[in-house]
Structure 1
Amino acid sequence: MNILYVTPMWSGLKDLILEGKTEPRGMPAFLRPLKRLRDEGHQVTLLVGTPTPEQPLVISVPWLVKEDVICVKWQANGTQKLLSPWRMYQAVRQQLKLKSYDFVYGHGSLSVVGNLAANHANVPCGMRLYGTFLADKATGGPATQVRKQHPLEYYAYRLPKKFMLMTNDGTRGNHVYEALCPKQTEPPYRFHFWLNGVEPTKSEGRKTAEDQPFLFFPARLARWKQQHLAVELLHELHEKGHKTLRLQFAGHIQDHAYWKEIQARAKQLGLERYVTHIGTRPAQEMAQLYNDAFAVLSLYQVSNLGNVSIEALANGALVAALKDGSLDEVIVDGENGLLFSDTKEGADKLAALLADPSATARIREEALRRAGTSFDSWSERITREMDLIEAAVQT
């Protein structure tokens, strides 16, 4: 197949095409299917929306080549907010004239542009969304308000296509689909709502001494992921007498101003030497960190059913997360993880487990056991996505 991807510059994609890394540190749900397509011999061209299209490509992985990556200027603020969709639309149209494509695959915020251009050119297309911020607005008010405030997202749900594949990450994308998809006898596309896959990586057993426990918060550093709450949680645990407990962050620092605020708060609380950021880490090292950490934190504002929680559970970690409803079908509080409403409750529950190693071990064992029956492997999950694409091209 000859496939045209229309996509933003995801953090993991940036690792591979701008920084020359051989192992991406983010967005496996985007990159793993892309790699499978390339490995199976399909031709994939990437149209990538980025604020810096002039930045030279640096690619070291053998399954991507510079000739198949085209960067297009895309900015989501100022006057560029209006110009960017039109610029990307023209780029898609140009590609569809230059080559005969079997399928257009739109991803994330740029997906609707690929959808629109493919429809105009009569080329089969699909849409891949990784979550949504629209649930409250789409289900709590008129659709016209969503159309006015978020036109790209609104029309993503309205336009005909072969399928829409949405990650079930707890942000209630299925509710947005029900609210915004046109109500008609024959829906304009098939909607699929799937969990991400997992690929547990065997660690070498716990290496952290019992008297050197740490909390681990692996996530792109962004304000909506609420890493600052982890500092408050650490402070409350120190106040309870757990003075050796540390906090490690990992992941891309997307918002440097936010990181400075976190550092300032840690210093204010006298915790600066207990709070560190270790950057991005390869999968094998992440598996070891999941294993070594006393608890893996997920304190997001929107949803906590993300890659981190799934991967940590699959590696037998103690996941400690905000109780927002997103993990209710995955974690039973106190059985295979911890759920809490605020940092005070979280500190109480974690303190109890710090004093009871046998209870902690039981939760970790149950997390590992249940993960084996709750999640597909990445290989299984990607095969299902490949089947969607092939069916879309054939019908």
Structure 2
Amino acid sequence: MYRASAIGTLNGQEPMSKKILFLSALDFKEKSIQVIRKTPEAFRDAGWEVRYIVARDNLPRGNYGYEAEINPAGIRVERFAWPLARLRNTQAGRALSYVWTKIASLAVVLQLALRGAQALRREAADVIYGYEVQGVLAARLLKMVGASGGALVVHRFQGTSVTEMLEGRQRVRQLVNLDQILALRSACDLVIMTDDGTKGNEALRRVGSRAANLRFWVNGADEPKELQPTQEFRRRLGVGPDELVLVSVSRLAGWKRVDRGLAIAEELKRLGVAFVYLVVGGGSEYERLERLSRDLGIADQVIFTGPVPQSDVYDYMNAADVFISTYDMSNVGNPLLEAIRMGKLIVTLRNGATGDWITHGQSGLIYDPSQDISQVAASDIARLVRDAAWADELRKGVRAVARERLWTWRDRMNAEVSDVEMLLEK
């Protein structure tokens, strides 16, 4: 039985505010993954009282080394640091660092559950929302030990690598990522899996998810507002009037494979195409990719921006002619969706469910990830430079995809809040 305060009245007065408690190991970001912040803000904007308990990973080489702490108005944030920072930052080898990270992750789950129990003793919640693996496991712990207070339990995943592990029968990888599998299996009232091309709905089915309800939704992508004038922005970047502008937007992590984009750029130079390649984002691969651009002889044609606020990302995207995304798993992340929304010429890989969005020669250029694509992709891009009619055809195709398939962020978040509220009313 869910808490009556969510829908009831008190002595004939107006209904009490609904209350939601988030448990997460993902802190708010300004320079990537906007949905982490958009979710609690959507509940706040719908009149909910929102608490957000979060473990922040402050490792210098981690995802928050370049992110300031954010405390959104109207959201009560309780923040603590991931433990074992010195051990996880060890230079003794990746394997040892990984082991310490797994131990720290377990400690984060226990800490989130403990802090969640304490928060619920102080003030009950109508909904407990476990965000990603650590938050989901913490929410499940609260339910198992009877500390949830009868709250509706929601689990949320931003995608998953488990599908790839299962399809590839990667037994060792499955074993060391048992926490992910347990989180996907965990019972809850509602599980929300992002349709990011990693086929998370299939992973939930194959691991035997015990969720009572499933929502499999793609993220939103808004039409950017207040863009800087394109030519003026390009001039400030030092881009010539006849130069082709390529862009990649991502955290610079190994599996994002920005090196593939650099290889394409090298081939474009060999073909005599005048271009500038904008690599937008920061991360652990930044220095290695800079060195690679020098080794390939294209350093003068590549601009590494470092991490930039999301509002500025749109200006870089707007300035570009071609968007490149060549991740290892799936490419249906927010940058690709934003490129579709903005009608860009898209170069990507046919992995995960990316092929459901991009059709080669119709709405973009998409290639077999098992092959070295640098030469064929560069050749096709060079053809787009020469063949304006084909380039226009691809832009029309990708705009059609945007019209038919994309949500705005408002629509996406309204659907989530509405579904949670309907479950409370049952």
TM-score higher than 0.5 here?
yes
Alignment coverage as a number of residue pairs: 372
**1:323 maps to which of 328, 350, 370:** 350
Partner-residue secondary structure (3-state), 1:113? helix
Report deviation, 1:361.
2.3
Q: Deviations over 1:183-212 (max 9, x none)?
A: xxxx54212211111111155675255512
1:271-350 matches, within 5 Å, as: 271-341=298-368, 342-350=373-381
**1:357 maps to which of 388, 397, 402:** 388
Match of 2:176 in 1: 149
1:116–1:159 CA contact under 8 A, matched in 2 = no
In the aligned structure 2, how far is the partner of 1:314 from the partner of 1:147? 35
Report deviation, 1:285.
3.9
User: Does residue 1:68 correspond to 2:77, yes or no?
Assistant: yes
Q: Deviations over 1:284-340 (max 9, x none)?
A: 543333232120110101101111111111111111112225222211111111112
Match of 1:268 in 2: 295
Match of 1:137 in 2: 165
In the aligned structure 1, how far is the partner of 2:122 from the partner of 2:58? 24
1:119-268 matches, within 5 Å, as: 119-120=144-145, 121=147, 122-141=150-169, 148-181=175-208, 188-202=211-225, 203=227, 206-207=230-231, 208=234, 210-242=241-273, 244-251=274-281, 253-255=282-284, 258-268=285-295
Using the size of structure 1 for normalisation, the TM-score is: 0.86
In the aligned structure 2, how far is the partner of 1:100 from the partner of 1:371? 42
**1:83 maps to which of 79, 102, 107:** 107
Q: Which is further off, 326-335 or 304-313?
A: 326-335
2:165–2:174 CA contact under 8 A, matched in 1 = no
Change (3 A) 1:174 1:58: closer
Change (3 A) 1:321 1:48: same
User: Does residue 1:95 correspond to 2:119, yes or no?
Assistant: yes
Letter in 1 for 2:113: Y
Output the aligned Cα RMSD: 2.6
Report deviation, 1:166.
0.4
In the aligned structure 2, how far is the partner of 1:266 from the partner of 1:100? 54
Report deviation, 1:115.
2.5
Partner-residue secondary structure (3-state), 2:216? strand
In the aligned structure 2, how far is the partner of 1:205 from the partner of 1:259? 28
Change (3 A) 1:152 1:344: same
Aligned residues with identical type, % of pairs: 21
In the aligned structure 2, how far is the partner of 1:229 from the partner of 1:214? 16
Match of 2:55 in 1: 49
Q: Deviations over 1:125-165 (max 9, x none)?
A: 101100111113234549x9777432321222222211110
In the aligned structure 2, how far is the partner of 1:276 from the partner of 1:103? 45
1:73–1:87 CA contact under 8 A, matched in 2 = no
Match of 2:93 in 1: none
Q: Which runs of 5+ in 2 are unaligned?
A: 1-17, 60-64, 85-97, 235-239
Match of 2:95 in 1: none
Match of 2:35 in 1: 29
Change (3 A) 1:354 1:309: same
In the aligned structure 2, how far is the partner of 1:136 from the partner of 1:314? 28
Change (3 A) 1:83 1:289: closer
Using the size of structure 2 for normalisation, the TM-score is: 0.80
Change (3 A) 1:61 1:103: closer
In the aligned structure 1, how far is the partner of 2:268 from the partner of 2:24? 42
In the aligned structure 2, how far is the partner of 1:200 from the partner of 1:52? 33
Partner-residue secondary structure (3-state), 2:109? helix
In the aligned structure 1, how far is the partner of 2:74 from the partner of 2:244? 40
In the aligned structure 2, how far is the partner of 1:58 from the partner of 1:177? 33
1:112–1:156 CA contact under 8 A, matched in 2 = yes
Change (3 A) 1:282 1:83: closer
Match of 1:115 in 2: 140
In the aligned structure 2, how far is the partner of 1:308 from the partner of 1:177? 25
Q: Which runs of 5+ in 1 are unaligned?
A: 16-23
In the aligned structure 2, how far is the partner of 1:260 from the partner of 1:284? 24
Match of 1:6 in 2: 23
2:341–2:399 CA contact under 8 A, matched in 1 = yes
Partner-residue secondary structure (3-state), 1:328? helix
